[in-house]
Chains A and B, each alone.
Chain A
Amino acid sequence: DAMVIQNPRYQVTQFGKPVTLSCSQTLNHNVMYWYQQKSSQAPKLLFHYYDKDFNNEADTPDNFQSRRPNTSFCFLDIRSPGLGDAAMYLCATSVLTSGHYNEQFFGPGTRLTVL
């Protein structure tokens, strides 16, 4: 089945130690997103890629970076995780057609714990 896969599902890191979260998709969608969701809050968009074009949200901290080496894969790098970065990180994909963004499909998420 076509899907969005995130690894790992649970990640524990130490304060200040860089961490990378990965997302892959078999949907061949041209748009990939990274969201941060803290407990009892709405998902918050960090950035998205349309093909290889990177689009950063204005309020995304510099501590967060992303890479998309090809259509199928997208990575979220947190350079120096702080305690406030503990959250669920959601990857999603979508298709841009005729200038319109369509339904987003979410991966299962990676829950990040910062010690």
Chain B
Amino acid sequence: GQNIDQPTEMTATEGAIVQINCTYQTSGFNGLFWYQQHAGEAPTFLSYNVLDGLEEKGRFSSFLSRSKGYSYLLLKELQMKDSASYLCAVNDYKLSFGAGTTVTVRA
């Protein structure tokens, strides 16, 4: 089976940094995705890690440790538009999603 855990909610101030952790126990693993989902909209791709280490894309970075079953998404220089749900998803033949972390950015 698949077990993917991430915090339910996080709140941060505009301009700050927030780190969203994701731990997983899955029967198969072919990479880990992070998606952003605004309320009422479809998920949009943020990052993909298949090997251990840090992937940086502008204000967003994602880290993976396969031996620990652990990933995090780092959001830097937070903006109000970053208020959304962030979904961690493990890729096998399908994406198994965590329940998502709702990030609220306050002025």
Contacts and interface: CB of A to CB of B under 8 A. Distances in A.
Interface in B78-107: 87, 91-100
Contact of A108 (B35, B42, B48, B93): B42
Contacts of B35: 106
A114 interface: no
A42 B92 contact: no
B94 A48 contact: yes
A103 B30 contact: no
A80 interface: no
Chain A: number of interface residues, binned into ranges: 20 to 34
A101 B99 contact: no
A106 B33 CA distance: 13
Given A43-B43, A90-B42, A108-B42, A103 B33 contact: yes
Interface in A17-44: 33, 40-44
A12 to B, nearest CB: 16
B40 interface: yes
A42 B91 contact: no
A24 B40 CA distance: 20
B50 to A, nearest CB: 9
Contact of A101 (B30, B43, B87): B30
B3 interface: no
A104 interface: yes
Given A88-B40, A103-B33, 6 more contacts: A41-B99, A43-B43, A43-B95, A57-B94, A103-B45, A104-B33
Interface of B: 30, 33, 35, 40-45, 48, 87, 91-100
